[in-house]
Amino acid sequence: MAHKTLLLTGAAGALGRVLTEALAARGYNVRATDRTAYPGPLPAGVRFAHLDVADYAGTMRAAEGVDAIVHFGAVPVELSFEEIAQANLRGANHVFEAAKANRARVIFASSNHTVGFTERAQTIDEDAPLRPDGYYGVSKCYGEMLGRMMFDKHGVESAHLRIGSCIPKPLTKRHLSLWLSYPDLIRLTLACLQTPDLGFRAVWGISKNTRAFWRSKHWAAIGYAPEDDSEKFASEVDMTDTGPVAERFQGGDFCANGYTRSGPGPADLP
Ligand code: 15L
């Protein structure tokens, strides 16, 4: 099995727990870490250790001898720049330094908020311009640029999963376009671990939703074949939106959060 020994950061979070169980069940040797305790019993064979990725030495120690780092340990929402900088900027650096030292591959939880200010009416591929919708989105763009540099300069491979809304089932109109089911999250992560030549890629992380905002240039190449479609929940979701800014852009409420323009920007902003 390729990339068998894994460091998983953020293992105690909702997606981290899904991945801890799924990867352990498939025979990966998972070193699960987080800065908070793992809730509930650990899957058989999984070792858990406390790790704050803002701690350089701790991250280097935790990654000794691993084949891949599945990096989900970050601030997942918009907060102050200082809070985001610790986990998401410093943490990303430490993870990539550890990957470089171990010749390990990085599977990095990036986000739809790298392109949040893209109009919902647009369908884009992964080469569309970055349009982050806050410091959180900027931090994920930073992770992607770090991955780009680390591959070009040091040959460290990475996939940056631009995850939409990864929840058990879609709840809003926006989710219909951005939903990533848990089984598809697992498929996407496995594809990135198993594909022989990953290189550097920023990859959409959604299911095969009928109403997707995105089409992917990379899914076929890495062997990701999503199986779920949010459409089967369409009659159950809340179709109201939370205001003109959130409604207009793919990032939704993250775009409206702290927005200080007097009205929505012109449609033809370059
Ligand atoms: C994200 O990147 C967040 O981490 C998550 O909490 C959700 O807000 C998600 O995006 C989303 O946009 O729904």
Each residue's pLDDT tens digit, 147-162: 999 999 999 999 999 9
What is the CA(153)–ligand 1 centre distance, in A?
31
* pLDDT tier for residue 262 given thresholds of 50, 70 and 90: confident
Atom of ligand 1 nearest to the CA of 113: 2
Does the CB atom of residue 230 touch ligand 1 within 6 A? no
Q: Which pair of structure tokens corresponds to residue 88?
A: 């998401």
Average pLDDT over residues 122-132: 97
Residue 41 has pLDDT above 90, yes or no: yes
pLDDT > 70? residue 266: no
Site to substitute for ligand 1 among 15, 254, 255, 257, most atoms within 8 A of C-beta: 254
- Helix ranges (DSSP H) in the chain: 14-25, 56-62, 81-84, 91-102, 135-154, 173-178, 182-194, 219-222, 244-248, 253-256
- Of 2-6, 133-137, 168-172, 198-202, the poorest mean pLDDT is in 2-6
Candidates 15, 72, 77, 178: which one to mutate for ligand 1, based on the most atoms within 8 Å of Cβ?
A: 77
Q: Which residue has the tokens 């631009």?
A: 162
- Given this model, what pLDDT does residue 218 score? 98
- Per-residue model confidence (pLDDT) at position 71: 98
pLDDT digits (tens, 9 = 90+) for 53-111: 999 999 999 999 999 999 999 999 999 999 999 999 999 999 999 999 999 999 999 99
What is the residue with the minimal CA distance to atom 3 of ligand 1?
A: 76
What is the overall mean pLDDT for the chain?
96
CA of 114 to the centre of ligand 1 (A): 11
Percent of the chain with pLDDT over 70: 97
| Catalytic (active-site) positions | 136
Q: What is the pLDDT of residue 200?
A: 98
- pLDDT, residue 2, reads 72
Q: Is the pTM of this model over 0.75?
A: yes
Q: How far apart are CA 166 and CA 242, in angstroms?
A: 20
What is the residue with the minimal CA distance to atom 11 of ligand 1? 165
pLDDT of 269 strictly over 90: no
Per-residue pLDDT band for 241 (boundaries 50, 70, 90) equals confident
pLDDT digits (tens, 9 = 90+) for 193-231: 999 999 999 999 999 999 999 999 999 999 999 999 999
What is the rounded distance in angstroms from the CA atom of residue 74 to the CA atom of residue 86? 9
CA distances from 50 to 57, 153, 209, 218 (A): 13, 31, 36, 34
User: What pLDDT score was predicted for residue 32?
Assistant: 98
pLDDT value at residue 242: 80
Beta bridge partners of 33: 49
Among protein residues, the one whose CA lies closest to atom 9 of ligand 1: 165
